[in-house]
Amino acid sequence: MQEAKENAGDFTSPQALDPWKGIKKVAREEYFTSGHRTCQGCESAQVMRLMAKAAGPRTIVLGATGCMYVANTTYYSTPWVLPWMHTQLGSAGSAATGTAAALRALMRKGKMNKEPINVIAVCGDGGGADMGLSAISAALLHTQYNLLIVMYDNESYANTDIQVSGSSPYGANTSFSPPGKAHRIMHKRWKKNTAAMLAVGHTECRYVATVVSSNAIDTLNKVRRALSIGGPTFIHALDPCPKGWDYDPKYSHEIGELAVETGIWPLYEIADRKLKMYGRSQRFASGTAKRKPVEEYLLRQGRFAHFTKEDIAYVQAKTDEMWEKWLLPGAIALSAV
């Protein structure tokens, strides 16, 4: 942050965005407003809103195909009060790098005013954790460009009707993994640990974080930190999705909270190679608070309605392992021999 301030006026440096300490300090201006057609209770839309608010007006947003493209850019109607461009489903990373490089070239040639402009690319879990993983990986290697990639994870290919993705949780009922009489659990793969994988594998990437929009201040400030620190950065948001997760839209906030309280979704950041847990996740990691049973999260959602006691016990055991056996509890799934 300090570095960014010292370089203010230099267009190759990031914007200096101080953290907002408390709800009263948060800017009132909205840059993602009315005019979208996302489902009621859509937390991905909430992530867009918080992200745009945190970034402010000197920002360009690039959106990969998915709900946050389709529902936000219906003909003649858009909630974006920022310049926005669609990019192909798997290309959030390359669109971000290309835009940051183009801005720099235009400013260097005197074709644009020289000023730091935030470049944010947004993609879903299908577009980010699966199809566009290589483009994000490449973007995180190009340390000369300042950009942020926000992966909004509704745990399915939601826009095309809730198909299973590499980020879908174990056992979830999706249109590609419906429970049946012969096979109750159709989706047996464990959710990809995308944020930590990207942090560990890109040693010069200065900032990777996880967020959930139920914790709005944390989300706002992580976006501000990611944009201020410099270089390519990545944020992974877990987004309750009433349509795909099958619950009443009024419970979106509560379900997001439960994801953290049960330990299913750890909140952390890895800034300059240092891992810091946040809020309850920090207390779980240090052993000063107890996680709620995962059952409280799972049984609130229709996508897990077919779960038996054994299925719940399996998810509980895997979650316990994440907090009790991993080298860095809740984040890095290694153990020293």
Ligand X SMILES: Cc1ncc(C[n+]2csc(CCOP(=O)(O)OP(=O)(O)O)c2C)c(N)n1
Residues that bind ligand SF4 (CB under 6 A): 38-39, 42, 44, 67, 71, 154, 158, 241-244
**Interface mask toward ligand X for 66-85; x: CB under 6 A:** xxx-----------------
Least distance from ligand SF4 to the Cβ atom of residue 159, Å: 6
Q: Which of 45, 100, 122, 158 binds ligand X (CB under 6 A)?
A: 158
**Interface mask toward Mg ion for 170-209; x: CB under 5 A:** ----------------------------------------
Instruction: Report the site for Mg ion in 113-132 (rule: CB under 5 A).
Output: 124-126
159 binds ligand X (CB under 6 A): yes
Q: Which long-range contacts (CB under 8 A, 24 or more apart) does 324-330 make?
A: 328/275, 329/277, 329/284, 329/285, 330/263, 330/266, 330/268, 330/277, 330/281, 330/284, 330/285
- Cα 250 to chain centroid distance, Å, stands at 21
Q: Looking at beta carbons only, is 7 or 163 nearer to Mg ion?
A: 163
Phi-psi bin for 47: left (phi > 0), alpha (psi -120 to 50), beta? alpha
Phi-psi bin for 328: left (phi > 0), alpha (psi -120 to 50), beta? beta
Rounded Cα gap, residues 71 and 293, in angstroms:
34
Q: Which of 14, 41, 126, 171 binds ligand X (CB under 6 A)?
A: 126
Phi-psi bin for 230: left (phi > 0), alpha (psi -120 to 50), beta? left
41 binds ligand X (CB under 6 A): no
Q: By the criterion CB under 5 A, which residues form the site for Mg ion?
A: 124-126, 154, 158
Q: By the criterion CB under 6 A, which residues form the site for ligand X?
A: 65-68, 89, 123-127, 154, 156-160, 165
